Amino acid sequence: MSDRLSVGIAEIRIAEPPARLVTYGLGSCVAITLFDAERCLGGLAHTLLPSAHRAGDVHRPAKFVDAAIEAMAAELVARGAARQRLAAKIFGGANMFEPLLGAADNAVGARNIRSARETLVALAIPLLAEDVGGNFGRTVEFDLASGRVRVRAVRGREGEMLF
């Protein structure tokens, strides 16, 4: 259990096996994992807002989906990962209070998901899997030994899923 490292809101962490990176209770926030399977080095980011570039604010990249992906990719490469081997998975982006907050398309969860997909395309990082949207919270656990991500939910669906 001591291998489990917690990643807070607006935080990026890089780790190697046997560590597991965990972030708890994602709602509209989006978590992104990047992994170099050959080097067994990966990172997890827990982000709040779609775009630092649009907000003109880069002092805390981990708050923003786009800036966090860029910062995490750069950090992984600096730590010995190969840029072209990085692959991503994304989680979260729910709309917790569905009916009243206007069209689901404009909800911040949906905008976070879109920003993640667009940023990955722009950086040519393949998106291997995603578990996004819905109206329930998720806890995400990234196992650096296998690259698999376990997602736990207490509402909306039962139990755990592996990605």
Binding residue for other proteins (CB under 8 A) from 5, 27, 118, 148?
27
- Tell which residue, 11, 20, 30, 6, has the closest CA to residue 147: 20
Q: Quote the CA–CA distance of 89 and 127 in Å, as a whole number.
A: 6
> Of 97 and 126, which CB lies nearer to other proteins in the complex structure?
97
CB of 13 to other proteins, least distance (A): 13
Residues 6+ apart with CB under 8 A from 1: none
Find the binding residues for other proteins in span 68-107 (CB under 8 A): 94, 96-97, 100-101
| Active-site residue identified among 14, 19, 21, 29 | 29
9 contacts other proteins (rule: CB under 8 A): yes
How many residues interact with other proteins (rule CB under 8 A)? 28
Closest CA to 139 of 11, 24, 19, 9: 24
Q: Which two tokens stand for residue 117?
A: 């997909």
DSSP β-ladder status, 86-92 and 127-132: parallel
Closest contact distance (angstroms) between CB of 86 and other proteins is 25
With CB under 8 A as the contact rule, the residue among 5, 37, 53, 139 that binds other proteins is 139
- 40 in active site: no
Residue matched to tokens 């296998």: 146
| Interface contacts to other proteins, rule CB under 8 A | 8-11, 24-29, 48-49, 55, 60, 63, 94, 96-97, 100-101, 108, 135-139, 154-155
The residues that are catalytic are 29
